[in-house]
DNA sequence: AGATTGTTTTGAATCGTCTCAAAGACCGGC
DNA sequence: GCCGGTCTTTGAGACGATTCAAAACAATCT
């Protein structure tokens, strides 16, 4: 194998290993002549520092793991992108891990990250209450919850999903809808549960005559949305809800597609509001109304909290940051024609 | 810090460190009684194996890096998902790194991955000809190019982009278009150049009367598509191409949005063909015709090649796998009404 | 020349785990 | 009580980089 060690560099440059290490880490303390000789040897051998050994000795990695529910949801791509800026500045590497909303895979990723002794973990958990998360923190791997509020024992960055759900619900009610569907994923996912609770509170506040039809699906995918859409489309027009609030935009886009396929008009026959306001929402068949979240800001803030925790380790106080969502109204929920 | 070492476990279980290591790695060779005692100690201390130290000793990591051009492009999410299956089976972890098509960031990721001595790297390079890639391989980190054909010195998995471009071009020409725009990204990206060359060859084969208007943009984003769309929309109708072939679907979706915003009808005023056939393509304002790539299969095959290379190390022969794309025709390029 | 101070360089110890030759335990048979 | 043969367990090196006390060297002043 072509990997060279610091020792070989030392031999070639005719200095001790300590000196090579110094050249690598504190070049200013070694004399220009020696330094140059070492650099020369490094170049000649194609030496690449073994970060693993370094990490073992130093005891701290320069990698943080970001575990997301679904890499293929652009929402998470944006969160990841937001995290990369501050990470770069602290020359830290962000690695993305996909749990696919599967507790088993999430577990495996967490195990692996802990075993690798990463600097810390940013995670959108499948189950925020899982003891695994607090265990991690207790054993020395700081964890920041992303898009999910923590209860005090750890840092978190979230958006008020209840509020988001309520805003969406109020908007649809105001537009004259009386029978509203909530297309959600597994209620074990906090975001889903909160958005549901939010829209529910709006419906309840509107009093009699307005009702919510919950449609819990097993996942939060495009296909899920499509299937839910087909199910609703198959209902007799009298019973069918006239509006749907989808737990996220990916689901909403699938739902929208099903409407088109079944010949239902959006928003005339079915109004739709999504969640996240991903870039594609505006570009959909019918531009999608959506509850906007500050995606990049979530990622950015999360990693800042993590780095803060790592730096101040001693006197660190966990913080729970909460952002406010807002509604972006587009064609998919324009005023209904026939009140 | 709450991290325990194998030594502490050994003390508590009153065995030697070697035995603990055996329990961890080859439990069958240690007697049931001792094994149980060790497990007990592990549980009691909350011991988590330090993968870093293990890796240093064993010399081989169980992580592979997947470096992509753009995490927020669902195409790459699907490739990543494809890679995860076989990876799991070899209990290997796939970490996703985003170069954002920026050579500097790509470089930084590669450096970091090499320093971490990962098992190997899957990469969709910004520049496939970069010497960095062969250096890596020469120094012992196997590299498999993804979605980009290698010239023999390494493994690669790709889709025939020239063919894809040609198919798209032929399709539009057959539909009666005589002035076709190619909306591309930086030609330094191999995929873009090949797709361009492909559509160009179709146009040339069609002979006089058909022409290609190349529109090279700096990036391959949604916004790029939108800007290109606006630029074309601003052209006088006589000069304006009647069809656009976009270098990927994300660009195509942006382009489509610009058409809608400027009041141009798709496909009547402007036909569109995208590339990748991401899930959202079918769900767009006007369902998008697109050149389909076997996304998951790309990822799956790439990691299989990598694992193969790692396993057979000695007698490994690099392979270049090439898949065929095919065209999925949807509304955005339906036959033109007025021939 | 010797003492003093400051600058460079050295090299042994260390991080946590794995490996493997060797030692130990145990058993049945004589 | 000893022998040969299985099973188990042991513990002393690695692995590659960092650290830091101490040694070596250089420059300046008496």
A308 to chain B, closest Cα gap in Å: 17
In this predicted structure, what is the pLDDT of residue B12? 96
- Please give the Cα distance from A254 to A252 (Å, whole number): 5
> How many Å apart are CA A251 and CA A253, to the nearest integer?
5
Pairwise CB contact (< 8 Å): A48 & B139: yes
Q: Is A316 exposed, middle or buried (0-12, 13-18, 19+ CB in 10 A)?
A: middle
pLDDT higher than threshold 50 for residue A231: yes
CATH code of the domain occupying B161-292+327-333: 3.40.50.2300
Type and span of the H or E element at B50? none
For C16, which residue's CA is nearest its C1'? B53
pLDDT of the residue at B247: 97
Residue B196 — pLDDT band, cuts 50, 70, 90? very high
> Does residue B283 register a pLDDT over 90?
no
Q: Measured from the CB, is B317 under 7 Å from any atom of strand C?
A: no
Q: Burial letters for B16-49: b for 16+ Cβ neighbours within 10 Å, e otherwise?
A: eeebbbbbbeeeeebeeebbebbbebbeebebbb
Q: Does the C-beta of B15 come within 7 A of strand D?
A: yes
Q: What is the pLDDT of residue A34?
A: 96
- Residue B24 (CA) to nucleotide C20 (C1'), in angstroms, measures 17
**Does B52 contact A279 at a Cβ distance shorter than 8 Å?**
no
Cβ B22 to strand D below 7 Å: yes
Asked if the C-beta of A104 comes within 8 angstroms of chain B's C-beta atoms, the answer is no
Averaged confidence pLDDT in chain B? 93
Count Cβ–Cβ pairs < 8 Å, chain A vs chain B: 140
Touching A: B residues 147-166, CB under 8 Å: none
pLDDT in tens, B132-179: 999 999 999 999 999 888 887 899 999 999 999 999 999 999 999 999
Between B337 and A142, the more confident residue is A142
CA of B18 to C1' of C21 (A): 13
DSSP A60-100: --SEEEEEES-TTSHHHHHHHHHHHHHHHHTT-EEEEEE-T
Asked if B6-49 and B60-160+295-324 have one fold, the answer is: no
Helix (H, G, I), strand (E, B) or coil at B245: strand
- How does the average pLDDT of chain A come out, rounded? 93
pLDDT beyond 90 at B333: yes
Output Rg (C-alpha) for chain A, integer angstroms: 26
Q: What's the pLDDT score for residue A1?
A: 52
The answer to whether A213 CB sits below 7 Å from nucleic acid chain D is no
Mean pLDDT on A27-37: 95
pLDDT band at B339 (very low <50, low <70, confident <90, very high): very low
Say what the pLDDT of residue B338 is: 43
Partners of A282 on chain B (C-beta within 8 Å) are: 257
Per the DSSP assignment, residues forming a β-bridge with B214 are B182
Nearest 5 degrees, angle CA A122-CA A123-CA A125? 165
Chain D: nucleotides below 7 Å from protein CB are: 7-21
**Are B140 and A3 inside 8 Å of each other by CB?**
yes
pLDDT of A285: 82
Does pLDDT of B203 surpass 90?
yes
pLDDT per residue over A49-94, tens digit each? 999 999 999 988 999 999 999 988 899 999 999 999 999 899 899 9
**pLDDT (tens digit per residue) in B25-52:** 999 999 999 999 999 999 999 999 999 9
Domains of chain A by residue range: 6-49, 61-160+295-324, 161-293+327-333
Q: Å from B235 (CA) to C5 (C1')? A: 79
C-alpha B121: how far from chain center = 12
Residue A339: per-residue pLDDT: 38
Computed on alpha carbons and rounded to an integer, the radius of gyration of chain B in Å comes to: 26
Q: Which CATH class is domain B60-160+295-324?
A: alpha beta
Q: Does the pLDDT at position B336 exceed 70?
A: no
* CA B259 – CA B98 distance, rounded (Å): 30
* CATH class, B6-49 region: mainly alpha
Contacts of B96 in chain A (CB under 8 A): 71, 95-98
Cα distances (Å, whole numbers) of residue A75 to A32, A272, A293: 49, 19, 9
CA–centroid distance for B237 within its chain: 37
Superfamily of domain A61-160+295-324: Response regulator (3.40.50.2300)
- Cβ of residue A90 closer than 8 Å to a chain B Cβ: no
Which whole number is the average pLDDT over A253-261?
A: 93
- Which H or E run includes A56? helix A51-58
Contact A279 B222 (CB under 8 A): yes
CB contact at 8 A, B114 and B94: no
* Range in A43-52, A99-108, B267-276, B313-322 with the lowest mean pLDDT: B313-322
Instruction: Give the one of A72, A115, A135 whose C-beta lies nearest to B50's C-beta.
Output: A115
Q: Which residues of A230-241 are buried (b: 16+ CB within 10 A; e: fewer)?
A: bebbeeeeeebb
User: How far, rounded to the nearest angstrom, does the alpha carbon of residue B231 sit from its chain's CA centroid?
Assistant: 29
Helix (H, G, I), strand (E, B) or coil at B80: helix
Q: What is the DSSP letter of B287?
A: P
Confidence of residue B69 (pLDDT cuts 50, 70, 90): very high
Which of A55, A80, A100 is opposite residue B71, by nearest beta carbon?
A80
What was the pLDDT predicted at B315? 77
| Strand D at less than 7 A from CB of A18 | yes
User: Regarding the domain delimited by A161-293+327-333, which CATH topology (the fold level of the hierarchy) does it fall under?
Assistant: Rossmann fold (3.40.50)
* H-run or E-run covering B294: none
Q: Express as a percent the part of chain A with pLDDT over 70.
A: 98
| Nucleotide nearest to B56 in CA–C1' terms | D15
């Amino acid at each position: 194998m072509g990997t060279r060690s610091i020792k070989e560099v030392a031999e070639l440059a005719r200095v001790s290993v300590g000196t090579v290490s110094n050249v690598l880490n504190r070049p200013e303390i070694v004399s220009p002549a020696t330094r140059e000789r070492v650099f020369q040897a490094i170049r000649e051998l194609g030496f690449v520092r073994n970060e693993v050994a370094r990490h073992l000795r130093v005891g701290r990695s320069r990698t943080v793991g970001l575990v997301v529910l679904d890499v293929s949801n652009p929402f998470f791509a944006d969160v990841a992108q937001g995290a990369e800026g501050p990470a770069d500045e602290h020359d830290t590497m962000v690695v993305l891990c996909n749990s696919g909303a599967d507790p088993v895979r999430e577990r495996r990723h967490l195990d692996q990250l802990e075993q690798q002794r990463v600097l810390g973990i940013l995670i959108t958990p499948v189950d925020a209450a899982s003891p695994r998360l607090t265990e991690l923190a207790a054993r020395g791997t700081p964890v920041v919850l992303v898009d999910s509020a923590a209860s005090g024992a750890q840092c978190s960055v979230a958006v008020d999903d209840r509020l988001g759900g309520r805003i969406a619900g109020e908007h649809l009610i105001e537009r004259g809808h009386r029978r509203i569907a909530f297309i959600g994923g597994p209620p074990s996912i906090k975001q889903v549960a909160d958005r549901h609770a939010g829209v529910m509170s709006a419906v309840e506040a509107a009093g009699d005559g307005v009702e919510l039809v919950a449609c819990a699906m097993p996942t939060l995918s495009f296909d899920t949305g499509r299937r839910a859409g087909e199910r609703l489309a198959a209902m007799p027009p009298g019973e069918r809800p006239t509006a749907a609030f989808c737990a996220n935009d990916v689901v909403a886009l699938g739902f929208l597609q099903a409407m088109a396929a079944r010949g239902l008009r959006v928003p005339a026959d079915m109004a739709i509001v999504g969640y996240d306001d991903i870039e594609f929402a505006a570009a959909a068949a019918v531009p999608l109304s959506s509850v906007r979240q500050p995606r990049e800001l979530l990622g950015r803030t999360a990693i800042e909290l993590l780095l803060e925790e790592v730096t101040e380790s001693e006197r660190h106080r966990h913080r729970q940051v909460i952002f406010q969502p807002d509604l972006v109204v587009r064609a998919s929920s324009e005023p209904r024609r026939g009140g």
